Copies of this chain bind each other. A is one copy, B any other.
């Protein structure tokens, strides 16, 4: 008779329900690949009140997650309850009770990974988190296994589908930010409170996780210089297009020459012919440059109940294969053995890049000369310039693309420019990412 692996599920919202549906609909395929049956024996939900999908076996529902974490029959716990504090406590307890854990919770791994992963490793347990970064894109597995032989030279991702959707609609349809955000919410991409998505906070958590896997470095998300997309206007989208660029929300990790890591999350102008420029709408992507591999890219849906559920259950098959082979802990959770190394993270100011600067000014003679003068004084040289005249009511817009410059110099120059009398609003700064 076939072995049955018993699973506990923490969280019974859309992802949890998606997992139950997937385990039923794809049961035969999964069994054929795993060589064992999977059975969900306990499910923790937040509230008894809520109406549930008929797929949920009500008799297995409990309302205390610790009951699932410590359930004597459960071998593998799936955590899709979200949050950091309680989820962290529950996962810790599950590991201490000898359960393998699979989580879709990026905040949990980014904020508590330093404690939970060593705890799992000490006990020879698997702690997997493919679904925590870029939903259906198997980037964790690719970094941990497929590229195990290579040194990663750079990693650039579109890690937040909501932001990508908003920028895509703004550029393609000329929408204002608020309008595009509203459409993202209607389409179910953005949360009622979209702050984490549009501020870059979500992408920052994901980048911290990927940077640890790709470079073996300990990264505190708070150290990553981050710019959200909330200040991008349709005017910026239009100008970007006129210069041959598209705007994408990027997350970038790259070692610098002196051994530090350059990490950043920000919207960027990409040449419209670049591969990441082709990744539009709610799609996510990760582009990797390997020393041996050369360039490679993976694209797919970064969120949504089904892609996320699929990633959780693929991890479940993987951990199940380890269980059957008695091989827990065969792959280190963070790709490397042992603790990740502390590694300097470049200050934002150290970046050398080309920049897009949009100045809002009163259209008076000499304004451009004064701006150019300040930029020049800080060694920021101008590559292209475009002016769109305003009138008595709206300010004129001057857009400047710079040559390569040091970000600290650009920021210093802008703080001086923004004090000039004819400059009527803070200057918009966007980075240009080559190819």
**A interface list, Cβ under 8 A from B:** 18, 22, 25-26, 29-30, 32-35, 130, 136-138, 141-142, 144-151, 216, 275, 278, 290-301, 304, 306-307, 309-314, 316-318, 321-322, 324-332, 335-338
Contacts and interface: CB of A to CB of B under 8 A. Distances in A.
Contact of A26 (B142, B292, B300): B292
A366 to B, nearest CB: 46
Contacts of A306: 292-294
Nearest to A293: B136
A146 B313 CA distance: 9
A144 B321 CA distance: 12
Contacts of A34: 148, 337
Given A32-B337, A142-B138, A332-B33, A297 B294 contact: no
Q: Which of A33, A138, A149 has the most CB of B within 10 A?
A: A149
B137 A296 contact: yes
Given A275-B299, A330-B322, A148 B294 contact: no
A424 B154 CA distance: 55
Contacts of A22: 149-150, 292
A136 B329 contact: no
B298 A298 contact: yes
A309 to B, nearest CB: 6
A189 B324 CA distance: 43
Nearest to A290: B310
Contacts of A337: 32-35
28 contacts: A22-B150, A26-B292, A32-B337, A33-B335, A34-B337, A35-B332, A136-B290, A136-B293, A138-B145, A138-B146, A141-B142, A141-B145, A141-B146, A146-B314, A148-B314, A149-B313, A149-B317, A292-B306, A292-B310, A294-B300, A294-B304, A298-B299, A321-B331, A322-B325, A325-B326, A325-B328, A325-B329, A326-B326
